[in-house]
Amino acid sequence: MKRYGEKVALDIPAWDLQAGEVLGLVGRNGAGKTTFLRIMLDLLRPDRGHVKLDGRAHSSDMSWRARTGSFLDRSFLIEYLTIPEYLEFVGTTFGLSRREIAHNLESFESFLPISRVDRSRLIRDLSTGNAKKVGILAALFVNPEFVVLDEPFANLDPPSQIQLKEQLSSMASNNGTTMIISSHDLAHVTEVCGRITLLEAGKIQQDLETSEQTLSDLQSFFSKHHTASAT
């Protein structure tokens, strides 16, 4: 549980994610998604309860960090570095050699082409969309076992959205990567994720396997909620 003053931002008695699952986290603004992700990454401590990874409390055993790739927002970036400098920093942090970094980045060349000009441009000077690409790339190219992304499709152009979906699907099917993907884009998240958890007012309202009907069911849920709120 997490409170902000008198407001309960998150209240989840129990929830689990199995290795290899790709989970979509959905909900309206203020539903508790970002709080959920920050607690999951040990960036925010719950007022009550705990998170366990591989059966161990993640706040006391930090080994999971070396196996986790994440990007929630621009604060994850180091704005005074160039793109190559930042990616090398991240890769080195994960124990990759320069050769391994260059090799791993090859499969992302179409997602984030780095021109000669881009190589000398500081991250702080990038557009919102390109800065997000850098953050997503940094989370994925290190071949993590666990990936956490918040709104990865927002601010990306359509070709980049398609490439990202393909990359995430490939990592899930070929590497068995476990993922949590929070998104307002119901179409994208139901296409990529095999399971959906729906948060509403900090509580889990639905937790279901994705099917052909899931997108329609989610659209119906949010449509009814909007109607009820407006009346």
pLDDT, tens digit, 9 for 90 and up, residues 26-80: 999 999 999 999 999 999 999 998 898 888 888 788 889 999 999 999 999 999 9
Reply yes or no on whether the pLDDT at 129 is more than 50: yes
The 10s digit of each residue's pLDDT in 139-175 is 999 999 999 999 999 999 999 999 999 999 999 999 9
pLDDT over 50 (residue 134)? yes
For residue 93, the number of C-alpha atoms closer than 13 Å in the C-beta half-sphere is 16
Alpha-carbon span 15 to 197, nearest angstrom: 10
Q: Could you state, in order of their start, the residue ranges of all structural domains in the chain? A: 2-230
CA dihedral 131, 37, 104, 81 (to 10 degrees): 40
* 105-114 pLDDT, tens digit each: 999 999 988 8
Q: What is the pLDDT of residue 84?
A: 94
The pLDDT-based confidence of 230 (bands split at 50, 70, 90) is very low
Tokens linked to 99: 């050769």
Detail the DSSP E strand segments found in the chain: 2-4, 7-10, 22-26, 52-53, 56-57, 68-71, 146-150, 178-182, 195-200, 203-209
Lowest average pLDDT, out of 18-32, 191-205, 215-229, goes to 215-229
Residue with tokens 């849920």: 221
Please tell me which residue, 5 or 134, carries the higher pLDDT value: 134
CATH code at 2-230? 3.40.50.300
Contact 139, 181 (CB under 8 A): no
172 by DSSP, 3-state: which?
A: helix
Helix count (H) and strand count (E) of the chain?
8, 10
Pairing, β 56-57 against β 7-10: unpaired
pLDDT of residue 59: 79
CA angle 129, 94, 160 (to 5 degrees): 20
In the predicted model, is pLDDT for residue 101 greater than 80?
Answer: yes
Reported as a single tens digit per residue, the pLDDT across 187-212 is 999 999 999 999 999 999 999 999 99
Per-residue pLDDT at 228 exceeds 80: no
Residue 226 banded pLDDT, cuts 50, 70, 90: low
Q: Which residue has the higher pLDDT, 98 or 57?
A: 98
Phi, then psi, of 104 in degrees rounded to 5: -65, -30
**Beta bridge partners of residue 203, listed in sequence order:** 200
Using CA atoms of 141, 215, 153, 18 in order, give the dihedral in degrees to the nearest 10.
-30
Amino acid at 67: R
Residue, of 125 and 229, whose pLDDT is higher: 125
User: Quick one: average pLDDT of 217-229?
Assistant: 77
Tell me how far apart the alpha carbons of residues 196 and 208 are, in angstroms, rounded to a whole number: 5
Q: How confident is the model at residue 225 (pLDDT cuts 50, 70, 90)?
A: low
